[in-house]
Amino acid sequence: MNTRSFEAKQIVAALATAGVLVAGAGTAWRAGHAASLAPAAVTASGAGAAASTAVPGLAALPDFSAIAARYGPAVVNISVTSMSPAAAIEPGDGAEPFGDDPFYEFFRRFMAPNGAAPGLRAQPVRGEGSGFIVDPDGIVLTNAHVVRDAKDVTVKLTDRREFHAKVLGTDPKTDVAVLKIDAKNLPVVPLGSARDLKVGEWVLAIGSPFGFENSVTAGVVSAKGRSLPDDGFVPFIQTDVAVNPGNSGGPLFNSRGQVVGINSQIFSRTGGYQGLSFAIPIEVAERVREQIAATGKASHARLGVSIQEVNQTLADSFKLDKPEGALVANVEKGGPADTAGLRSGDVILKVDGKPIVASGDLPALIGQARPGEKVALDYWRDGSEHQAVAQLGEASDTVIAGTNDRSAGAGTLGLAVRPLQPQERRQAGVEGGLLIEDAAGAAAMAGIHSGDVLLAVDGTPVKSVEQLRALIAKSDKSMALLIQRGHDRIFVPVHIG
């Protein structure tokens, strides 16, 4: 299984063929215990030696040979076997060659169970990834996607010993898995802190790209706290370390020989390394390991809001100094945010004093807290900053789920709207709002169309056509319209200048 990768704004699962985006760094495409050993000293055989022999005027490159030699034995290769489902032939699905034959159903009784043709059965699918030992009694960390749906997991050490591994637990939200092998006195890696990493700092990856065990690659930290689509619980470390299928689950070391992350994903247009690799901070992995050891599963906190990015147009609409924060598009009724007094149209600026620059910073910070914890929220509403305290819930508890007068072209928005009928309000699950019957001009350019329900303008709930006209008259060069489309709500910025 492997290094996951994402294209544009979508992470795709692999078990893929060449040329397809990869998820996981394994060869089946899909893309703590304190260490008893001290971190490898970079002395005469390390960066110090490189510096002493460097050509005057040229910057010395680090030498990771001491780290690779000392901690390479604690990096393992993980082989996984899963079963693909048997191909079943059902009548009328267009797949059977004799579906129109009147005697087909008679002969079908002599086929394998579930309609599968004789001889068709589940086939084994094999993949590979990496991992590392964090406890001498056999605790191994890797990626959850490496061992997903696994029937058999084998851990191979650098001394060529192999062990069947038990999956103690996995956490798909952070892509962390904890394994246990029956062995003692194993080599381990020391754990460091991703918080101490600096952009531009040298880092080292060890893993099994394409099955080549204990391969070493190096690069620098490109960025910290990256938020990726569908991975909101992890503030990723971005590096330019060469990571390929098979590297997934392997360790990312700092220059002091401490593990600071788990290599997890790549961005690729070809299926291979293209200079963008992402690692899970070791603090996130350690928290998951502790929870799995204690309860057998990992839990995550939730605030109970749906959010979106704040662009310049939305910032202008809400009179923010700059386009930062997480714009609250919807608040879950009865959820932690609702209880704390947050509402749609608020812009969350800080959590416990930590700034929210991109909207993805919010779920990453909330995901690092525990259910039941209280967090201090700084948010923007009606042109000024406010504070609230929210007691976080459990992520697994989240619920997945007038008249006929018209206003032709409300102001310069280009909207034709009317109040919702009582039955329309019940169907939409809203208490107010205006049904958009037609959109042109600025509204159409922004992506609004007929059938949408206009709920609010710049955070102010809209209840009548007259109120909408008044809000438009007071607006400046842009407006933020809260639109409900089906069951989704989103703020749409509209230029009206």
pLDDT, one tens digit per residue, over 330-388 is 888 888 999 999 998 999 999 999 999 888 788 878 877 888 999 999 999 999 999 99
Residue 314, classified by CB atoms within 10 Å of its CB into exposed (0-12), middle (13-18) or buried (19+), is buried
Asked if 275 and 148 sit in the same domain, the reply is yes
Could you give the percent of the chain with pLDDT greater than 70? 75
User: What confidence score (pLDDT) does residue 121 get?
Assistant: 56
Does residue 96 lie in a domain region?
no
Placement of tokens 């901690």 in the chain: 71
Residue 231 falls in the annotated catalytic set? no
Active-site pick, 145, 222, 268, 458: 145
pLDDT, one tens digit per residue, over 174-201 is 999 999 999 999 999 999 999 899 999 9
Asked if 79 and 204 sit in the same domain, the reply is yes
Does residue 100 lie in a domain region?
no
Residue 248 falls in the annotated catalytic set? yes
Q: Which whole number is the average pLDDT over 272-291?
A: 91
Listed range (37-51, 239-253, 474-488) with the worst mean pLDDT: 37-51
CA distance 309 to 307: 7
The two three-digit tokens of residue 459, written as one number: 């955070």
Of the residues 343, 362, 397, the one at which a domain ends: 397
Asked if 345 and 286 sit in the same domain, the reply is no
pLDDT, one tens digit per residue, over 75-105 is 999 999 876 654 444 444 444 444 445 444 4
Active-site pick, 135, 175, 378, 452: 175
Number of domains the chain is built from: 3
Residue 101 falls in the annotated catalytic set? no
Placement of tokens 């938020």 in the chain: 227
CA distance 12 to 23: 6
Does residue 111 lie in a domain region?
no
Asked if 168 and 42 sit in the same domain, the reply is yes
CATH of the domain at 383: 2.30.42.10
Does residue 67 lie in a domain region?
yes
pLDDT at 406 over 50: no
Asked if 130 and 33 sit in the same domain, the reply is yes
Asked if 437 and 349 sit in the same domain, the reply is no
CA distance 257 to 15: 32
Q: Which whole number is the average pLDDT over 387-414?
A: 57
pLDDT, one tens digit per residue, over 470-492 is 888 777 778 888 988 887 888 88
Asked if 27 and 59 sit in the same domain, the reply is yes
pLDDT at 20 over 50: no
Greater confidence (78 vs 112) lies with 78
Among residues 304, 204, 198, 322, which one has the least CA distance to residue 254? 204
137 DSSP assignment? T
The two three-digit tokens of residue 260, written as one number: 């600071």
User: What confidence score (pLDDT) does residue 237 get?
Assistant: 94
User: What confidence score (pLDDT) does residue 279 get?
Assistant: 96
Asked if 292 and 306 sit in the same domain, the reply is no
CATH of the domain at 279: 2.40.10.120
User: What confidence score (pLDDT) does residue 104 get?
Assistant: 42
Q: Which whole number is the average pLDDT over 127-140?
A: 95
Among residues 238, 260, 311, which one has the least CA distance to residue 480? 311
Of the residues 334, 369, 397, the one at which a domain ends: 397
Asked if 485 and 363 sit in the same domain, the reply is no
Does residue 8 lie in a domain region?
yes
User: Are the C-beta atoms of 268 and 5 separated by less than 8 Å?
Assistant: yes
CA distance 278 to 240: 9
Please, what is the average pLDDT of the chain? 78
Could you give the percent of the chain with pLDDT greater than 90? 39
Pinpoint the alpha helices (H) of 352-464: 361-367, 422-428, 441-445
Of the residues 298, 327, 358, the one at which a domain ends: 298
Provide the domain limits for residue 231.
1-85+122-298
Active-site pick, 5, 248, 255, 268: 248
- Quick check: pTM over 0.85? no
Asked if 342 and 476 sit in the same domain, the reply is no
Does residue 381 lie in a domain region?
yes
Does residue 186 lie in a domain region?
yes
User: Are the C-beta atoms of 286 and 191 separated by less than 8 Å?
Assistant: yes
Asked if 58 and 192 sit in the same domain, the reply is yes
Does residue 376 lie in a domain region?
yes
Asked if 79 and 219 sit in the same domain, the reply is yes
CA dihedral of 102, 106, 108, 112, whole degrees rounded to 10: 180
Residue 37, classified by CB atoms within 10 Å of its CB into exposed (0-12), middle (13-18) or buried (19+), is middle
User: What confidence score (pLDDT) does residue 36 get?
Assistant: 34
